[in-house]
Structures are given as structure tokens and as C-alpha cells.
Amino acid sequence: MPSVDELIATARKNEVIARNLFDIEVAIMNITRCSEFFLTLVSLVKEKFGIDHAWLVLTESPSNEHLIETLREVDEDKEILLPVSMVDFLRATQSIHEPILVNTELNRFRGIIPSDLRKKLGSIAVLPVVVDSKVVGALVLGDETAGRYNPRKDSFFLNQLSVKVSISLAGVWARERISFLATRDPLTLLRNRRELEESLEQELSRHARQRENMAVMFIDCDDFKIVNDTYGHDCGDSYLKHVAYHLNELTRKSDLAFRFAGDEFVVILPNQQQEGADIIAGRIREHLLNTPLKVEDKIIPVVISYGVISTENLQKVDSKMMLKIADERLYEMKREKPNRRTQTECEEG
């Protein structure tokens, strides 16, 4: 039976842990962005509990796409994010809702451990992160000794941390999701037209302050109506999502892609002159030509026209003028092309 001194020492230790958990909860409960939430969380957990290694594992599921994308933007040197397949996550955790403490056979968990830590760690604690009753990932704590996260140890406080993180994240997630959807096109998830107007004004303001050129690219899908009429609206939706995906893949992080309306898209190219912007637009068009949409047994060519204007070629710079000129140049390209394909030609590919 523990002595009185031992009981007092344990009580004081638990009091410190409870106070640290409270401090973490207070710090994260009012954060409004998921990226800031996790950066703050991992930093505080390491600081308050003297933990050398801590990272966030998120499953690569559709519901996590936005969260992973947001975290990747701020995680270049922080190394707190580890996206994993759902299969690897379930293999390691069995999707349980309570913390897992492991100090033997860590190889079973290699799928959720960063590659540079796999040979270093002696024990880990896996704290599930739950949103809307679904396990979306885990906060993982690692130690180079086997004793830190011994399965025989009481996981009461780890479970409290897991619950606090999940409850706080649910609120942040909901607020950010609402904000995200308000600025996005619901089909392609590109920024919407309202966001275009605000972003273009911001970029032009920066152009005026820093004297850096910028360009605007206006894009139209030549055969979208034929594709829609021939294969139906579901295929038309896939066509637009295909274009949107490749716009994101082919542009820089600093570039901004928008769905303007229907089958029209706009890309803002900060710090880009006319020649460079024309080259980028040409590459996008060429890439789409060489990357047709595949739907079931159909191969559907993707052909675009574009117009590009850079601030270096304008005496008076304003957002409406840039969009107008880029749009006019787009239709110049359309007029110079051979006759558009017929519906039969589209069906034959």
C-alpha cells in the first residue's frame, strides 16, 4: 500500500497534469482555423509534457481533403502532418475510440509513424481524433524509451486529452467548413466568382505597392456543350472537375484558380509578366489536350481556349479591365481556330 508521502506526490503530479490539460484546452478552444489549431496543439503538448516527438495522422478520405490541404500549406518545415491511407490507419488502430499505448512490435504501427522516426522510437501513444462520431485520424506521441508509453500505465489523462482535442476540433472544423464553402464553387471546389473579385482587388493592391507585375488568365472549355448534350450532365460535371483538378496541379501555390461561370475559369498569376503567363497558359492547354477525361469506357478530349493579360501591358490597371481584355483575347483565340467539332466527332473522340 502506498505511503502518505507517495499518495501526496501522486496527487501533486496529477494536479500538474490536469492544469496542463486545462491550459491546452483554453488555448485551442477559441481558435478559428484548423491549421492554427493543430500547430498550437502539437506545440503545447510537446511543451507542457516534455514530449520530443508529436505529430498528427489524418486519413486520406474525402472528408479530410480540405483539412489535409490546409495543413500542408503550413507544414513545410513543421513536420506535424502525416496523411495515411485508410487501410494503413485501420490496420494500425482498428479505428478504436480510446488511446493506444504501445512499446513492443511497433512495426505494426509503421504506417502511422514518420519514416525518419521508425527506428528511433521505443514507445508511442495513439490518441484518436473523433469528429461527428467518426475517427478521422490521431494525435500520436512518441518517445525513444520503451517505458514512457507502457501499455500497463493508466491512460486516463491521455483519454482526457483525446476527448478535449476532438470536442475542440469539431467546433473549429465546422466554422472553417462553413467559411470554406462560402468562398468555393460547390462542384469543383475552386474559389468562386465572389472570391475572385476580392482576390483580384487584393492582388492589384499588392501590385501597386510592390510594383510587381501580375497576370490574369481567362479560360473557356470549347466542347463543353457538346459533351454535356452527348453524354449528360453527370459527365459534364466530371469534365469541369477534371479541368479544375488540372488547373490546381499545373499552377504554383501562389497562383489562384477560380470557376468564373459555367465552363469558364480564371487564374490569377501573381508576379508574372505577359510572356511567362502566355507560356503557362499554353502548357495548361497542351496538358489538357494530352490528358483526356476518362469516364467508364469513354475517352473525351478536353480542349480549351484562353486569353491572358499582364499588368505590364496596361496603362490603367483595374480588375474589370483585366478580366474584359483577357475575355476578349480568349474569343480571339476561338475565332482563329478551325471549325468546332460536331457532336458526332465528339462521340467518336
Q: What is the CATH number of the domain that holds 301?
A: 3.30.70.270
Residues 160 and 297 in one domain: no
Instruction: Please report whether residue 211 resides in a domain.
Output: yes
**CB-CB contact of 288 with 246 (8 Å):** yes
* Entry pTM: 0.64
Domain boundary among 158, 182, 206: 182
Domain boundary among 128, 162, 182: 182
Confidence of residue 145 (pLDDT cuts 50, 70, 90): very high
Residues 59 and 129 in one domain: yes
Instruction: Please report whether residue 64 resides in a domain.
Output: yes
Distances 137 to 92, 113, 148 between C-alpha atoms, Å: 11, 13, 22
Q: Is 102 helix (H, G, I), strand (E, B) or coil?
A: strand
Question: HSE-up of 328 (CA within 13 Å, CB side)?
Answer: 7
The rounded distance, in Å, linking the Cα atoms of 338 and 297 is 28
Q: What was the pLDDT predicted at 11? A: 81
CATH number, position 55: 3.30.450.40
Q: What was the pLDDT predicted at 76? A: 64
* Amino acid present at 346: C
Pairing of strands 134-143, 123-131: antiparallel
Residues 133 and 198 in one domain: no
349 pLDDT higher than 60? no
Confidence of residue 75 (pLDDT cuts 50, 70, 90): low
Angle made by CA atoms 241, 68, 194, in degrees to the nearest 5: 50
**CB-CB contact of 287 with 313 (8 Å):** no
Angle made by CA atoms 110, 112, 114, in degrees to the nearest 5: 80
Residues 131 and 258 in one domain: no
Residues 289 and 222 in one domain: yes
- Set of cell numbers at residue 39: 500547430
- Set of cell numbers at residue 259: 470557376
What ranges in 138-252 are assigned the alpha helix state H? 156-182, 193-210, 224-231, 233-250
How many domains does one find in the chain?
2
Instruction: Please report whether residue 219 resides in a domain.
Output: yes
Pairing of strands 304-310, 134-143: unpaired
Length of the chain: 349
Using the structure block, give the residue that is written with the C-alpha cell 487501410. Answer: 87
Residues 211 and 311 in one domain: yes
Residues 147 and 28 in one domain: yes
Confidence of residue 314 (pLDDT cuts 50, 70, 90): confident
Q: Is 337 helix (H, G, I), strand (E, B) or coil?
A: coil
Residues 248 and 171 in one domain: no
Taking only the tens place, the pLDDT of each residue in 194-244 is: 999 999 999 888 888 888 889 999 999 998 999 999 999 999 999 999 999
Residues 202 and 271 in one domain: yes
Instruction: Please report whether residue 274 resides in a domain.
Output: yes
Residues 139 and 268 in one domain: no
The rounded distance, in Å, linking the Cα atoms of 215 and 308 is 7
Confidence of residue 9 (pLDDT cuts 50, 70, 90): confident
Q: What was the pLDDT predicted at 337? A: 74
Long-range contacts of 165-171 (CB under 8 A, 24+ apart): 165/28, 165/41, 165/127, 165/129, 165/139, 166/128, 166/129, 166/130, 166/131, 168/25, 168/28, 168/29, 168/31, 168/37, 169/34, 169/37, 169/129, 169/131, 170/131, 170/132, 171/29
Residues 197 and 243 in one domain: yes
Residues 214 and 138 in one domain: no
- Set of cell numbers at residue 210: 510592390
Q: Is 141 helix (H, G, I), strand (E, B) or coil?
A: strand
Instruction: Please report whether residue 188 resides in a domain.
Output: no
Using the structure block, give the residue that is written with the C-alpha cell 500538474. Answer: 16
Instruction: Please report whether residue 342 resides in a domain.
Output: yes
Instruction: Please report whether residue 37 resides in a domain.
Output: yes
Instruction: Please report whether residue 187 resides in a domain.
Output: no
Confidence of residue 131 (pLDDT cuts 50, 70, 90): confident
Range of the structural domain that residue 271 is part of: 193-348
Taking only the tens place, the pLDDT of each residue in 263-273 is: 999 999 999 99
Domain boundary among 147, 182, 217: 182
